[in-house]
Structure 1
Amino acid sequence: MDTSAGAPGRRTPHGDAEPVPAPFPQALIDAFRAQPEPPAFEHRSRVVPRGEVLELIGRCADGLRAAGLGPGRSVAVATDVTPEGFAVLMAAYLLGCRVTGLRPGMTPAHLVYVLSDGIDALVADETGATPELLDAAGGVTVLRLGPDLLAAHPKATGELTAQGRSEDIAMVTLTSGSTGRPKGCTQTYRSLALNWAWQPARWTERTERLAAGYERYLLFGTLTSAVIFEHLGVCLLGGGTAVIPDPPLVFPQVFERHRITACLMTVPRLHHVLDVLRTDRVDTGSLRVLLVAGSPLAPHRLAEAARKLGPVVHQGYGQTETGMLSLLTPHDLAQWPDQVYDSVGRAWSGVELGVRDLEGRPVPTGATGEIWVRTDSAMAGYWKDEEQTREVLRAGWVRTRDIGHLDEHGFLRLTGRARDVVIVNAIVHYAGAIERALAAHPDVDQAYVVGAPDERTGEAAHAFLVPADGRAPDLDAVRALVAAELGEASVPATFTVVAEVPVAPSGKPDKRALLSRVAGPLGTV
C-alpha cells in the first residue's frame, strides 16, 4: 500500500505543473526584505528584527566571499545557537557553498576525519572554537565569526541573491558516529529548494495550520540538527519569532516564562515535562504546538500529554535522510479518539509513504513491512559512501529501515526498526514490538529493550523498565503480558527496573548505555 499527501511532481488544480520554486534560501531573503521590521529572533534580552538579520547575512556573505568561498566550495560551521550563527549558515548557502555543520561534543578523531575531507574553510564563533576543534583543523583556513567576518565587514555591500547550483551538494548533516565514523547525509540545493519548511509558496492548508502555531518558537540545541533547522524555517517563514532564552533551560517553566507557543522536543524530555506537571503548577497555556519526535511515544504517555497540555500535542516521524514524513495532530486525535493514539499520523505534505516486503514489493493495506518513502526533499546520498547510498536509495524511494503498517485511513503505525532487532534461536524479534507490549502494563511508564550475545540462544533480549508513579511492576504479570501479546519466545531474558533511562547527546534514549549495563552488573554475557 502507498499513500501520499501532495506527492512529488505535484500539479496545480488546473493540471499545470507546479512552478519550480526560487533557489534556496531566496524565499527567506525575499520574505525578510518584504517585511524587515518584525522580530526574527529574541536572543536572551536582545530582539533582532528581520532587517537586522539580513544585514548580518550580508556581512557574513561578504566575509566568506573575500575568503574565496562560493559555488562548489566547502565550509564547515561550528557556532552556538545565535542570530549570528544562523546568519553565517544562510550566507554560506546564499553563496552556493557545501555546508557541513559540526555538532557540539564531537570527538577529536571525528573532527579530524570530517575536516580533512575536502573542507576549504572552517567558521567558528567563540563557543565553537574549542582547542580540540582548532587542533583538528590542521591546515584548513579558520575564520572567526566575530573578528574575521562581522568586524571586518561592518556594512553589507554584496547582493543577497542565491547562487547555489541545483545539483550541487548544499548541506551535509553528520550522524552521531556511534558505529565508528560519522556518516554525512547530503542534500542538494534542489532538494532544499523543494523542502516543505522553506518554501511557503508550496504550503498546503495543513502546513499553514501548523506554521500558525510557531508565533514564538523555542529554539535550543544545535543549528546543525536537520530537524531543528527545518522547524526554524517554518517559524521564520510563517512570520514567527525564534526565542533563544538564557541557559540553562528549565522545562516546562521555560514555556511560562517566555510565553512559548511552539516547541520541538524528544520523548525523554516530554516524560520529564509530564513528571514535573504531576507535582508543580506551571502555566503552559501559551502552547499551541508541542511536537514530539525522535523515538516512539507510548500511547498512554501521548494521552497523558494531551490531558495535561491540551490540544497542542503533535507526534512527528521523520529521519535526517528525509525530513519530516508524517504527523499526528490534535485534530486527528479528536476525530479518531479510540484509534490513532498508537500511530505517528499520516503522510506529511509532499511525502509518499509505502510499505514493502523483503523483496521491495508493496504489501496490502494493514500488512506489516518496511516503510519506504518518496519526497522531493530527500537526501542525495551518504557523503562518499556509495555502498550505503545504494542500500538506502532505490529508484527515487528511500528505505527507512523502519517496520510498520498503514491502515485504511492512511495512518502509519511503527512496530520496530529493521536494525533494532534481537535474534533469539535464529528467530528475529523486533525490539519496538516488545517495548510496546511492556509499556502496555499499567505499572510500566517506559520500556526499552536491547539485545546482547547469549551462549545458549545466540542473542537474548533484556528489558529496562521505568515504573509508573513509583509503583514496582509485577514482573510475572509483565512477562505474562508480553507472552500473551507476542508469544513466549519474545519475553525478555532479564528485567531491570530503573528510575530513568540514560539519554544520548541527540536527546534520544541511549540504548548503547543500557547495553553496557547488560554486559556489566547483570552478568548475562
Structure 2
Amino acid sequence: MTHGQRHFSSYAEEICSALTRFPEREAVVRGEQRFTAGQLRDLVFRMARVFETRGLGPGKTVALLGGNLPQLLAARYAAHLLGCRVVHLYARLSVAAQAVIVRDVETGVLVVDPRVAGRAGELAARSGVPDILTLGPAAVGEDLLELAACRSAGTFPGRARPQDICVIQYTGGTTGRPKGVCTTFAQEAARGERPRVPDVARRLLVCTTLAHAAGRLTDRTLAAGGSVVLLEDFEPAEVLTAIERERISWLFLLPPLLSRLLDHPDCGRRDTSTLTTLLYGGCVASPGRISEALSRIGPVLSQGYGQMEAGGISQLTTEDHDPQRPERLRSAGRPLPGVRVAIRDTAGNDVPAGEAGEICVRSDTVMQGYWKQPELTAEVLRDGWLHTGDLGRLDADGYLTVLDRLRDVVIMVGGKFHTSELEDVLESHPGVRQSAVFGIPDTDGVDQVHAVVVPTPDGTVDERQLRELARTELGEIYDAIRITFTTQLPLTETGKPDKKLLRQHSSRTPPNCGADSCA
C-alpha cells in the first residue's frame, strides 16, 4: 500500500469491528445456542487462521453447504476476511446440481453442516472438491470447530481487495439454467448499509435461507450492533412464537410467507407489538394482503425490490403504505439513492411515464457479471445499464411498478397480458387467499393460461365464479383460463411461488385436478 492510500475495509471487517465494540451483547441466537458478539468475533478470527493453513486467500473459493447455523455464518465472514470468493449452496438443490456449481466455481474448501455430511460425501465424490471441513464431528472431512479451537482469537487483518470477487450467488433456476452472479468486495461494501449510529436494539428474525436476502440483512444487523435470531425454516407458529419470545423488532418475509403468517390462527394470539419493521419483497405482493397485514400487524411494513444482479433497486417505505391507495401498494416504491432506473422498449428507447417496458438499472451495486459466461453478461450489461428482464413502469411521481418477468408475459389470441394483473383480480375475491398464473405455449406459440388458486379455509369459491370475475374485470378473453385449486402453492427455497414446478405439473395434468393435486 502506497503512502497515504487508505486501507480497503471489507464488509466482513466492518462486522468484526462492530462485534468488537459491543463484545458482551447477544449477537446470534439459534435454539439453545447464544453467541455474544465477542464469541462470534473470536470464532471468525480462529476460522480465518484455519483457512489460511489450507492455502486459502484472494482468488480461492469456499463453498458453504448447510442450514441457518451461526457457525456457517462465521465461516463466511472468515473466508471473506482472507479475500476468498464464497458460494453458499441452496440446500434443496439436487446433489448433481450442487456438484456442477462446486466444480464450476473451482472450490478449494467445502464447509459442511454435519447434518448433511452424507450428502457432502457424495457431493465431494461427484465434484472432486479437495478439502472438506465440517462444523462439528462427522463421517467426512475434518472438524473445523475442533481445528479452530486451537488457533488464536487475536485480531485477523483483512486481506480482501476491492476488485476481487467476493460472492458468486447462483440464481434459483426457476426461469432457466442457474447463473452465477459475481459481485466484488467493493460492490458488496456498496450494497451494505453502513449504520450512521449503532442500533443495538435491533433484533432480526431470520426464517428464510441465509444463502439469499436474509444473509445480507443479517450482515446489516450485525454491522449496526444488533442481534440475529435464526430459525431453520419458515413455519408460521414458530415464527410467531419467536417474535414474542425474543422480542423481535425486524422481520423479512416473501409475500407468500407473509400470507401464510396472516392465515395462521396464532397470528391474532401472539404478541407482535415489538415489530418495528416488517420487510417484504422478492416477488409481487397482493395489495389486498398487504392492506390486511397493515390492519392486523400495524404500520410497520416496508417493501424492497431488487435482484441478485443489481442489489437493491427501489423501496416502498412505511410511510408509502397507505391502504386508501391500493395502486401505491401495488408499486415497488421509488428508486433508492444512487440508483437510476429507466423503462425501455425492445429497441432500447426510454418509454413515456406510465407505459410498460423492461426495467433497466444503473448503480454502483450492479454485478460484475455472470461467472464464466461472458456472452450472457454482455447480453444483460449494455452501456453501463443492467437489463433486468423484469417488465415494469414508472409513474409521473417516480414510483416503480413491477409487472412481470419478461418471459412470464402470456401471449394470447387477443394479445399479451401480465400474469400479475390476473393474479390481482383473482386475489380480490374474498374466497381466494393466493394464486399463481402462468402460460404454457402450444404448438402455435399461443399460451394456454393456467391459474392455480388457494382458497380461504372457509371459502366456497368455484371455477365459474373466478372465470366470471376475470371476464368482468379483464375481458372475455379470460373465458379460456384453466383453473386448479390447491391447499398450498409450492415455493422455491427462497420463498417464491415455484412457477417452473407448476408449469411442469400442469403440462401433464388435466384441468380441475382436485384440491390437493398441486400441493
TM bucket (normalised to shorter chain) is: 0.7 to 0.9
Give the equivalent residue in structure 1 for 2:189: 193
Does residue 23 of the first structure (1) align with residue 10 of the second (2)?
yes
- Tell me, yes or no, if the aligned pair for 2:191 and 2:312 is still in contact at 8 Å: no
| CA deviation string 1:487-518 (max 9, x = no partner) | 43355431223332222322211223322342
Change (3 A) 1:413 1:248: closer
Count residues with an aligned counterpart. Answer: 496
> How far, CA to CA, are the matches of 1:213 and 1:29 in structure 2?
15
Correspondent of 2:368 among 380, 383, 393? 380
Does residue 107 of the first structure (1) align with residue 94 of the second (2)?
yes
Give the equivalent residue in structure 1 for 2:158: 162
Amino acid at match of 2:408: D
**How far has the Cα of 1:187 moved from its partner?**
0.5
Correspondent of 2:226 among 240, 246, 254? 240
Correspondent of 2:452 among 464, 472, 476? 464
- Tell me, yes or no, if the aligned pair for 2:207 and 2:234 is still in contact at 8 Å: no
Correspondent of 1:304 among 256, 273, 292? 292
> How far, CA to CA, are the matches of 2:267 and 2:277 in structure 1?
23
**How far has the Cα of 1:156 moved from its partner?**
2.2
Residue 371 of structure 1 aligns to a residue whose secondary structure is strand
Residue 117 of structure 2 aligns to a residue whose secondary structure is coil
Correspondent of 2:77 among 90, 96, 102? 90
> How far, CA to CA, are the matches of 2:506 and 2:390 in structure 1?
25
> How far, CA to CA, are the matches of 1:455 and 1:194 in structure 2?
46
Which one is further off, 417-426 or 265-274?
Answer: 417-426
**How far has the Cα of 1:389 moved from its partner?**
1.1
TM-score, with structure 1 as normaliser: 0.86
- Tell me, yes or no, if the aligned pair for 2:207 and 2:239 is still in contact at 8 Å: no
Give the equivalent residue in structure 2 for 1:173: 169
> How far, CA to CA, are the matches of 1:29 and 1:58 in structure 2?
9
- Tell me, yes or no, if the aligned pair for 1:35 and 1:50 is still in contact at 8 Å: yes
- Tell me, yes or no, if the aligned pair for 2:305 and 2:315 is still in contact at 8 Å: yes
Does residue 72 of the first structure (1) align with residue 59 of the second (2)?
yes
Amino acid at match of 2:218: L
Give the equivalent residue in structure 1 for 2:139: none
> How far, CA to CA, are the matches of 1:112 and 1:338 in structure 2?
45
Amino acid at match of 1:451: G
TM-score, with structure 2 as normaliser: 0.87
Please tell me the root mean square deviation across aligned C-alpha atoms, in Å: 2.8
Does residue 143 of the first structure (1) align with residue 133 of the second (2)?
yes
| CA deviation string 1:304-336 (max 9, x = no partner) | 000000111222211121223222232112497
Which one is further off, 453-462 or 82-91?
Answer: 453-462
- Tell me, yes or no, if the aligned pair for 2:187 and 2:365 is still in contact at 8 Å: yes
> How far, CA to CA, are the matches of 1:335 and 1:438 in structure 2?
19
- Tell me, yes or no, if the aligned pair for 1:214 and 1:262 is still in contact at 8 Å: no
> How far, CA to CA, are the matches of 2:288 and 2:160 in structure 1?
46
Amino acid at match of 1:84: Q
Correspondent of 1:229 among 212, 215, 220? 215
| CA deviation string 1:331-380 (max 9, x = no partner) | 11249745512112222243222211222222222222111112212211
**How far has the Cα of 1:188 moved from its partner?**
0.7
- Tell me, yes or no, if the aligned pair for 2:43 and 2:74 is still in contact at 8 Å: yes
Give the equivalent residue in structure 1 for 2:270: 282
- Tell me, yes or no, if the aligned pair for 2:108 and 2:129 is still in contact at 8 Å: no
> How far, CA to CA, are the matches of 1:181 and 1:519 in structure 2?
20
Residue 72 of structure 1 aligns to a residue whose secondary structure is coil
- Tell me, yes or no, if the aligned pair for 1:72 and 1:98 is still in contact at 8 Å: yes
- Tell me, yes or no, if the aligned pair for 2:408 and 2:418 is still in contact at 8 Å: yes
Residue 252 of structure 1 aligns to a residue whose secondary structure is helix
- Tell me, yes or no, if the aligned pair for 2:8 and 2:161 is still in contact at 8 Å: no
> How far, CA to CA, are the matches of 1:389 and 1:57 in structure 2?
34
**How far has the Cα of 1:212 moved from its partner?**
5.5
> How far, CA to CA, are the matches of 2:509 and 2:11 in structure 1?
52
Segments ≥4 residues shifted beyond 4 Å? 178-181, 211-214, 245-249, 277-280, 334-339, 474-477
> How far, CA to CA, are the matches of 2:164 and 2:500 in structure 1?
36
Give the equivalent residue in structure 1 for 2:515: none
**How far has the Cα of 1:519 moved from its partner?**
2.5
Report percent identity of matched pairs.
34
> How far, CA to CA, are the matches of 2:459 and 2:278 in structure 1?
28
> How far, CA to CA, are the matches of 1:20 and 1:325 in structure 2?
28
- Tell me, yes or no, if the aligned pair for 2:304 and 2:332 is still in contact at 8 Å: yes
Residue 25 of structure 1 aligns to a residue whose secondary structure is helix
| CA deviation string 1:109-135 (max 9, x = no partner) | 112212223222222231343333333
Could you tell me which runs of 5 or more consecutive residues in structure 1 were left unpaired when the two chains were aligned.
Answer: 1-18, 202-207
Does residue 364 of the first structure (1) align with residue 352 of the second (2)?
yes
Change (3 A) 1:129 1:97: same
Amino acid at match of 1:195: R
Aligned positions of 1:393-408 closer than 5 A: 393-408=381-396
**How far has the Cα of 1:32 moved from its partner?**
2.0
Which one is further off, 367-376 or 274-283?
Answer: 274-283
> How far, CA to CA, are the matches of 2:348 and 2:263 in structure 1?
42
Correspondent of 1:445 among 433, 446, 456? 433
- Tell me, yes or no, if the aligned pair for 1:437 and 1:482 is still in contact at 8 Å: yes
- Tell me, yes or no, if the aligned pair for 2:23 and 2:36 is still in contact at 8 Å: yes
Which one is further off, 36-45 or 246-255?
Answer: 246-255
**How far has the Cα of 1:484 moved from its partner?**
4.5
Change (3 A) 1:311 1:393: same
Give the equivalent residue in structure 2 for 1:252: 240
> How far, CA to CA, are the matches of 1:503 and 1:247 in structure 2?
12
**How far has the Cα of 1:184 moved from its partner?**
0.8
Amino acid at match of 2:91: P
Aligned positions of 1:46-65 closer than 5 A: 46-65=33-52
Correspondent of 2:405 among 374, 399, 417? 417
Change (3 A) 1:338 1:496: closer
Which one is further off, 19-28 or 235-244?
Answer: 19-28
Q: Which has the higher contact order (CA 8 A, sep 6+)?
A: 1
> How far, CA to CA, are the matches of 1:181 and 1:517 in structure 2?
19
Residue 63 of structure 1 aligns to a residue whose secondary structure is helix
Give the equivalent residue in structure 2 for 1:3: none
**How far has the Cα of 1:172 moved from its partner?**
0.5
**How far has the Cα of 1:399 moved from its partner?**
1.5
| CA deviation string 1:445-476 (max 9, x = no partner) | 32221212335773211112223453233644
> How far, CA to CA, are the matches of 1:517 and 1:139 in structure 2?
35
> How far, CA to CA, are the matches of 2:341 and 2:200 in structure 1?
26
> How far, CA to CA, are the matches of 1:152 and 1:449 in structure 2?
51
| CA deviation string 1:68-102 (max 9, x = no partner) | 01111122122332222111101111101111111
Amino acid at match of 1:156: S
- Tell me, yes or no, if the aligned pair for 1:450 and 1:463 is still in contact at 8 Å: yes
> How far, CA to CA, are the matches of 2:233 and 2:285 in structure 1?
27
Does residue 436 of the first structure (1) align with residue 431 of the second (2)?
no
